[in-house]
Structure 1
Amino acid sequence: MLRGFYTAASGMMANQRMQETLSNNLANAYTPGYKADQGTMRAFPELLIQQMNQTTVPTRSGGLNLPAGKQIGSLHTGVYMQETVPKFSQGDLRETGIKTDLALLNGNLPDDNGSLFFNVQDEAGNLRYTRNGNFTVDGEGFLTTTQGYYVLDDAGSPIQTGGMDFDVSENGTLTAADVTTQLGLSYSPNSFDLEKVGNGLYAPGEDAAPIVDARAGGGINFSISQGFLERSNVAPARVMTEMMNTYRSFELNQRVLKAYDQSLQKTVTEIARIR
């Protein structure tokens, strides 16, 4: 009985984590470039139930007792949410008319799970990757993200625009009054190797495939639209439906847990009455 108690409890914990993931997706439904997280469920190892018995074999001296068993079946021991994986499908575009807004569009890519990213520098000076092209220009004239991270060029240096008046071509060439540079763009052949590090930034995970310059790799096509933003790939209606299903599953496990608790309480009470 206690094993079933823990199995139902593990289901509640897995549903709670899934609900948190879905809630975070819904909260970022209108964050530019946001990629929805997908939770993956995994079952704990099953147990094989076998009936333990014995059989008597007749002998000259009377009989010999030998162990005998009968396989009954398997017993599930619960479920847990193994990990969350971003879904890197292309989001729709929204026109803003603001020159600092840039949308990165994937073209024909050589890998099914490949994706393109803007290069930015975080507060610690590390190279990070983002799909959020909602940029701005700081007081010193550098192109930055809304969090203040420098947007990098193809040489890995912050981009100096001198102001808000600049143009970006489809191939990522930025032209201002006195500067022409290429936006830093990277390509990951397997975007599932990337990990979210906060504020819409990604970093290579452990044993990640090498991330290359998007212009140096063969067969990588892309385009940049100035004055547009890539929407998140979150479908609010679908997420709300998944949240309702997850909540119902949580309630079912809760009822099972309550039934086990009532059975245990009844068992203890009746045993205490035996004289």
Structure 2
Amino acid sequence: MVYGLYISAEGAQAQSRRLEVIANNLANVNTPGFKSEFAILEARDSEAINEYLDSPGSGSINNIGGGVMVRETKTSFEPGPITPTGNREDLAIRGDGYFQVQYGDQVLLTRGGNFLFTPDGNLTTQEGYPVLGIDGTPIQVDPEAKAVQPGEYFNDRGEVIIGGEAIPLGIARPQSNADLVKFGKNFFRSLGPVDQIPEEERSAAPGMLERSAANPITEMMAMIETTRAYESNVNMIKTQDEALGNLLGRVLRQS
């Protein structure tokens, strides 16, 4: 019975961790370029097997399940929907690739193209990180030319076109999405090398944004499911605790 308490506690802890992941997805349903995460649950071996006191499949009393645990969280790199915003400072990438931005001495990657031009003409993210060009240097334009720019600030090749000059943004892709580590809400740090998207493959959408890939309806359904699983584990803990208390009470009364 005590072992049942541990199994239920492990289940509640796993569902609690899963709830945290889902809640973070829901909190970022309006974050441009956000990639949703999901928790991977795995059956847990018994404590004796984890302590190498027995082996799986031994057929002994230790060869029982140890509940469930969260093995790890993964990021889904499915693209979010691209929608028009009417904002000339917004830009979305069509197809593969990530914008490159400077964060201290690191280069981060992001699909969030809700950029800003500072008064002195620097192109930055909403957080103030400089947006890099294809040559790896921060993009800066003439603020006076920007003030009189008649049309879009970007073209469909991902270039800044202010003042008659075309400055290509750095749009790169890692060798594998498995190399990407989340950094903040919608930024990634690559553990491996990244390559610039070839010119013939560059495609962008001026005045549009890639929205969050987190679907609020799907996430709400997952939250309801996980909450019920959490409550079931907590109720099992209460039931087993009451049964154990009653048993101890009878033993003490008869002794």
TM-score bracket, normalised by the shorter chain, equals 0.7 to 0.9
Distance 2:117 2:63 in 1: 62
1:48 touches 1:75 (CA, 8 Å); kept in 2?
Answer: no
Q: Tell me, what secondary structure is at the counterpart of 1:39?
A: strand
2:53 corresponds to: none
Distance 1:105 1:137 in 2: 22
Residue correspondence of structure 1 range 174-185 to structure 2 within 5 A:
174-177=160-163, 179-185=165-171
**Under a length normalisation based on structure 2, what TM-score does the superposition of the two structures give?**
0.86
Distance 2:59 2:18 in 1: 39
* Dislocated runs of 4+, deviation >6 Å: none
Q: Following TM superposition, by how much is the alpha carbon of 1:70 offset from its aligned partner in structure 2, in angstroms?
A: 7.4
1:171 corresponds to: 157
79, 82, 104: which one pairs with 2:68? 79
Q: Tell me, what secondary structure is at the counterpart of 1:150?
A: coil
Distance 2:232 2:99 in 1: 44
Q: Following TM superposition, by how much is the alpha carbon of 1:173 offset from its aligned partner in structure 2, in angstroms?
A: 2.4
Deviations 1:142-180 (A, max 9, x none): 000011000000111100122344632222222221643
Distance 1:82 1:38 in 2: 11
Distance 2:221 2:181 in 1: 26
2:194 corresponds to: 211
2:158 touches 2:202 (CA, 8 Å); kept in 1?
Answer: no
Q: Tell me, what secondary structure is at the counterpart of 2:242?
A: helix
Distance 1:268 1:13 in 2: 27
142, 147, 150: which one pairs with 1:162? 142
1:90 touches 1:105 (CA, 8 Å); kept in 2?
Answer: no
1:94 corresponds to: 83
Distance 1:131 1:79 in 2: 34
1:132 touches 1:200 (CA, 8 Å); kept in 2?
Answer: yes
Bigger helix share: 2
Q: Following TM superposition, by how much is the alpha carbon of 1:40 offset from its aligned partner in structure 2, in angstroms?
A: 0.9
Gap change, CA 1:237 and 1:264, over 3 Å in 2:
same
1:100 touches 1:135 (CA, 8 Å); kept in 2?
Answer: yes
1:98 is aligned with what amino acid?
Answer: N
Distance 1:6 1:35 in 2: 34
Aligned residues: 241
Share of identical aligned residues, percent? 32
1:65 corresponds to: none
2:39 touches 2:72 (CA, 8 Å); kept in 1?
Answer: yes
Q: Does 1:116 align with 2:97?
A: yes
Residue correspondence of structure 1 range 23-172 to structure 2 within 5 A:
23-46=23-46, 74-106=63-95, 115-122=96-103, 124-163=104-143, 164=146, 165=149, 167-172=153-158
Distance 1:194 1:134 in 2: 21
Distance 1:221 1:13 in 2: 46
Identify the range of structure 1 (177-186 vs 151-160) with the bigger mean alpha-carbon deviation.
Answer: 177-186
Q: Tell me, what secondary structure is at the counterpart of 1:168?
A: coil
1:212 is aligned with what amino acid?
Answer: D
Q: Does 1:267 align with 2:247?
A: yes
Root mean square deviation of aligned Cα? 2.3
Point out the structure with max Rg over C-alpha. 1
Bigger strand share: 1
